[in-house]
Structure 1
């Protein structure tokens, strides 16, 4: 009997969604809202599902697919995402397939034959393919129960990742008028949500808006001084953990990846300028834990279903909060502790704004500028990071989170009048013709050729701040710009000029409060699996076993079991089938496929200890 047949014997008209959740997927309880969405879909109602990355969106359509009699078609934007979802479904015994350009004609015909015989429950296709007239003709006569539109924010002009082909998906409502549609996304503000309903033609949909909060992710912003040194210092504490580092340019991606490799890290680059084969190799190796760190542009990530990404670093400020939220959300999908680090230089703000000048559509340009303004405000705000994120998505939060840099290490204020006077005087005495780097050199008394050529080593302000570091003075100057005492003239190479507001400070007419520069961010490093109180030696053995099985089956390790399941095994120490089934993530199919090897490893370990 095949794995699919075994699953089908478990499913009968009397089976509930919760039975399927446990028996097939190995989970005891639904997350908030999943059961209501599933029930609405089962009743033939259109649905819009907003849940955070890692929040369990896929189960909202996968469980109805198993309970309803016909085929569920899932529209997904990326080949890698389709392949990953299908691999995970097959691992729990569900008949799933995809049709995309990675397959031969013969392979696609074989899948069509299985569809005609009703041997497949879930089919994944791209939006470009499903609307091809030949493809529509081939599926027109199939018994289709549900259409699921993944990454549905791509349908909206207001969304941060608009894709024209998604706009045409409303045609499915015309071709298949009585078949319910489920739209799913992790990132959509109020305007985008309303537009999704309109663009897809959803009829009186049930709308579920889950919490956007990812409490397991710690948000940290570090002022950018020497970002590569800051990054290397952070990575030294990660001890082989999986992570993603986002950069804004391909050149920077290649440069950082090379430097990390030279420093001994198992890292690789990923961007759209690379050949397809190389990109696929990197993505596959990362998903299988053969590469630990991927340095990438935003081209990487939407198709990553890897649950054990422990950190996401933004080397540069993203263009909008939606992208930032989605990209940071790729960390900690398993619910275990994860970190999101953003390196921020206020000078990046005008640089990014210039990108929007090339957008021809005036309305689109205004939307992009507005979204970036929200991102810039997030980076510069002295309040709880999580509160800002949740409020942006209309999930108003009164209490600070206690798990971001602002909460854990609140900014400390001091009387910065004298410090500001030193900095402002240096700008004034050097005729307001130089940028931050030069002013810092003046303050610190740097003996450079440029300073000597300008005879600035003879100024009274030369070296008046030599007791402080370069990073310290950069932070102070940035604060003075932020407070409106200095402005950067981007038309003249970002030289610093005094504003009228600087005059009373220079005359000591009132005192100025500044934040103490954070020269070394405080990272609290801890065991990400600590809440399980597990046996670490046994966990290492189970992890090695998982890797061996995954390599033999040509699968990513997390498709076998995720880290949380392994940690729970190393905590509960199951020694028989009944106990093994009580571990989260263990269903009947995985018990049958992997139970013997994992139980034997646990029993042998206990016998020796």
Structure 2
């Protein structure tokens, strides 16, 4: 998107300033879990006590997966509404949103959602965002886990994946991408280009999910590029000052699973979650 904007302005080589990408109040956890075990892990996460009466959002890629997860959680005594496009009507969706935001009773502390609907939620005290699997692009992932901690308080984003069987998650996303392109009724050349672009985005997100080293650094680096040298011109300093974020002050928490690998090896991934939320 940045490249397209610069091309349209006729300044493809301009220096780019990217702000607001890092969310230091959100700890980032990639948790390796086979697909069959994910409902049980999500149930464990749902039982973690959320500070400040916090909420939990669970992103799923399809309605079928969401309904199966909702059934499993219900059997565990964890009743969780599912927010998606097939709800009976606008009134039902609106009432569910009011219950999740605390504007209506009975209040809801957890919600399952597809990405299209979850992206419309702006609840300040979401303390944890869980992804059933990685989404179809790094841009989508940033936007989705960014639903957490919008009040600046300590929060955590949990991304479930299976490092030993990455293709199982990517195959589903590629099937969905292929269907979306076909439904768009594009010309053959346009459809091929669109599908190629979507598949490249999926593969890029899959590589980021399994990358070694600091997850936050890799994520932020994707948007901002390599770090610039410490020496800056006056004009660069002035532009950064003018366009710097002046939003909610964000509490710094533990970084990511790679930076806390010793803790995870010793006590498990749930210990990482509890530590992040207690910061």
Given that residues 27 and 276 in structure 2 are in contact (C-alpha distance below 8 angstroms), is that contact kept between their aligned partners in structure 1?
no
In 2, the alpha carbon distance for the partners of 1:192 and 1:282 equals 38
Structure 1 residues 193 and 260: alpha-carbon distance in aligned structure 2, compared to 1, 3 A threshold:
farther
1:188-203 correspondence to structure 2 within 5 Å? 190-194=2-6
In 2, the alpha carbon distance for the partners of 1:260 and 1:316 equals 17
In structure 2, stretches of 5+ residues that fail to align are 10-15, 183-190, 229-252
Structure 1 residues 242 and 521: alpha-carbon distance in aligned structure 2, compared to 1, 3 A threshold:
same
| TM superposition shift of 1:235 | 1.9
In 1, the alpha carbon distance for the partners of 2:177 and 2:209 equals 19
| TM superposition shift of 1:234 | 1.8
State the partner residue of 1:235. 46
Q: 1:311 aligns with which of 95, 115, 128?
A: 128
Structure 1 residues 397 and 231: alpha-carbon distance in aligned structure 2, compared to 1, 3 A threshold:
farther
Q: 2:259 aligns with which of 399, 404, 407?
A: 407
Q: 2:31 aligns with which of 203, 222, 225?
A: 222
In 2, the alpha carbon distance for the partners of 1:238 and 1:224 equals 22
In 2, the alpha carbon distance for the partners of 1:410 and 1:393 equals 28
Q: 1:259 aligns with which of 69, 72, 77?
A: 72
Structure 1 residues 191 and 527: alpha-carbon distance in aligned structure 2, compared to 1, 3 A threshold:
closer
1:27-42 correspondence to structure 2 within 5 Å? none
Asked if residue 282 in structure 1 is aligned to residue 92 in structure 2, the reply is no
State the partner residue of 1:352. 173
Q: Secondary structure at the match of 1:299?
A: helix
| TM superposition shift of 1:299 | 2.3
TM-score by length of 2: 0.72
| TM superposition shift of 1:192 | 5.0
Given that residues 266 and 291 in structure 1 are in contact (C-alpha distance below 8 angstroms), is that contact kept between their aligned partners in structure 2?
no
Q: Secondary structure at the match of 1:222?
A: strand
State the partner residue of 1:483. none
| TM superposition shift of 1:395 | 4.4
| TM superposition shift of 1:411 | 11
| TM superposition shift of 1:232 | 1.4
Q: Secondary structure at the match of 1:343?
A: strand
Structure 1 residues 395 and 287: alpha-carbon distance in aligned structure 2, compared to 1, 3 A threshold:
farther
In 2, the alpha carbon distance for the partners of 1:228 and 1:280 equals 27
State the partner residue of 2:22. 213
Q: Would you say how many aligned residue pairs link Structure 1 and Structure 2?
A: 228
| TM superposition shift of 1:528 | 4.5
Given that residues 70 and 79 in structure 2 are in contact (C-alpha distance below 8 angstroms), is that contact kept between their aligned partners in structure 1?
no
Structure 1 residues 523 and 529: alpha-carbon distance in aligned structure 2, compared to 1, 3 A threshold:
closer
In 1, the alpha carbon distance for the partners of 2:43 and 2:260 equals 22
In 2, the alpha carbon distance for the partners of 1:253 and 1:217 equals 24
Q: Higher RCO, 1 or 2 (CA under 8 Å, sep at least 6)?
A: 2
| TM superposition shift of 1:208 | 6.2
Asked if residue 521 in structure 1 is aligned to residue 272 in structure 2, the reply is no
In 2, the alpha carbon distance for the partners of 1:409 and 1:262 equals 33
Q: Secondary structure at the match of 2:123?
A: coil
| TM superposition shift of 1:255 | 2.4
In structure 1, stretches of 5+ residues that fail to align are 1-157, 159-189, 199-206, 413-515, 531-609
C-alpha offsets along residues 84-114 of structure 1, whole Å, 9 cap, x if unaligned? xxxxxxxxxxxxxxxxxxxxxxxxxxxxxxx
Structure 1 segments (4+ residues) deviating >6 Å: none
CA RMSD in angstroms, aligned pairs only: 3.0
In 2, the alpha carbon distance for the partners of 1:334 and 1:217 equals 11
Given that residues 59 and 118 in structure 2 are in contact (C-alpha distance below 8 angstroms), is that contact kept between their aligned partners in structure 1?
no
Given that residues 244 and 309 in structure 1 are in contact (C-alpha distance below 8 angstroms), is that contact kept between their aligned partners in structure 2?
yes
| TM superposition shift of 1:238 | 2.7
Structure 1 residues 288 and 367: alpha-carbon distance in aligned structure 2, compared to 1, 3 A threshold:
same
Structure 1 residues 282 and 192: alpha-carbon distance in aligned structure 2, compared to 1, 3 A threshold:
farther
Given that residues 253 and 270 in structure 1 are in contact (C-alpha distance below 8 angstroms), is that contact kept between their aligned partners in structure 2?
no
In 2, the alpha carbon distance for the partners of 1:286 and 1:194 equals 40
Given that residues 409 and 522 in structure 1 are in contact (C-alpha distance below 8 angstroms), is that contact kept between their aligned partners in structure 2?
no
In 1, the alpha carbon distance for the partners of 2:201 and 2:64 equals 25
In 1, the alpha carbon distance for the partners of 2:146 and 2:46 equals 19
